[in-house]
Structure 1
Amino acid sequence: MSGDSALLFEVRDQVATITFNNPAKRNVFDAEVRERLADVVGQVRRDAGIRALVLTGAGGHFCSGGDLRNIAAAGLDTAGWRHRMRSLHEWLHDLITLDRPVIAAVDGAAAGAGFSLAMMADFVLATPRAKFCMSFLKVGLVPDMAAFYTLPRIVGVQRAKELMLSARDVGAEEALRLGLVMELHAPEVLLDRAQALATSFVGASPTAVSLIKRALEQAPGASLAALVDAEVNAQALAAATPEHREAVRCFLDKQALPFSWPAAAKS
Structure 2
Amino acid sequence: METINFEVEDGVATLTLNRPQRKNAIDAVMREELKEVVFSLPRRRDLRALIITGAGGSFSAGGDISVMGQGTLTPEEGRDRMRHDYLSWIEAILRLEIPVIAAVDGPAFGAGFSLALTADIVLATPRSRFCLSFMRLGLVPDCAVFYTLPRIVGQQRAKELAFSARDFDAAEAQRMGIVLEVTPEGRVLERAQQMARCFANAAPAALAMTKRAFNVSMNSTLETMMDIEAAGQAVARTTQWHTDAVQRFLNKQPSAFQWPSKLD
TM range (shorter): over 0.9
2:41 corresponds in structure 1 to 44
2:248 corresponds in structure 1 to 250
Deviation, structure 1 residue 110: 0.2
Q: Return 5+ residue gaps in structure 2 as ranges.
A: none
Same amino acid, percent of matched pairs:
48
SS in 2 for 1:129: coil
Which residue among 70, 75, 78 is the counterpart of 1:78? 75
1:105 corresponds in structure 2 to 103
Which residue among 139, 152, 155 is the counterpart of 1:154? 152
- In the alignment, is the contact (CA less than 8 A) between 1:16 and 1:44 conserved in 2? no
2:112 corresponds in structure 1 to 114
Q: Return 5+ residue gaps in structure 1 as ranges.
A: none
Matches within 5 A, 1:171-186: 171-186=169-184
1:260 corresponds in structure 2 to 258
- In the alignment, is the contact (CA less than 8 A) between 2:63 and 2:111 conserved in 1? yes
1:217 corresponds in structure 2 to 215
Deviation, structure 1 residue 92: 1.7
Alpha-carbon displacement from aligned partner over 1:209-240 (angstroms, at most 9, x marks no partner): 11111111111121111111111111001111
Residue 160 of structure 1 aligns with an amino acid whose one-letter code is A
2:229 corresponds in structure 1 to 231
Instruction: Report the number of matched residues.
Output: 263
SS in 1 for 2:69: helix
Deviation, structure 1 residue 31: 0.9
Alpha-carbon displacement from aligned partner over 1:93-115 (angstroms, at most 9, x marks no partner): 21001000000000001000000
Give the root-mean-square deviation of aligned CA atoms: 1.1
Give the distance between the partners of 1:135 and 1:6, measured in 2 at CA: 23
SS in 2 for 1:187: coil
Deviation, structure 1 residue 90: 2.4
Give the distance between the partners of 1:83 and 1:30, measured in 2 at CA: 17
2:61 corresponds in structure 1 to 64
SS in 2 for 1:73: coil
Q: Which moved more, 1:249-258 or 1:115-124?
A: 249-258
SS in 2 for 1:74: coil
- In the alignment, is the contact (CA less than 8 A) between 1:110 and 1:131 conserved in 2? yes
1:91 corresponds in structure 2 to 89
Residue 147 of structure 1 aligns with an amino acid whose one-letter code is V
Give the distance between the partners of 1:31 and 1:246, measured in 2 at CA: 47
Deviation, structure 1 residue 32: 1.1
TM-score by length of 1: 0.96
Give the distance between the partners of 2:187 and 2:162, measured in 1 at CA: 31
Which residue among 132, 135, 144 is the counterpart of 1:134? 132
SS in 1 for 2:68: helix
Give the distance between the partners of 2:97 and 2:198, measured in 1 at CA: 16
Alpha-carbon displacement from aligned partner over 1:107-131 (angstroms, at most 9, x marks no partner): 0010000000000000000001100
Give the distance between the partners of 2:29 and 2:194, measured in 1 at CA: 29
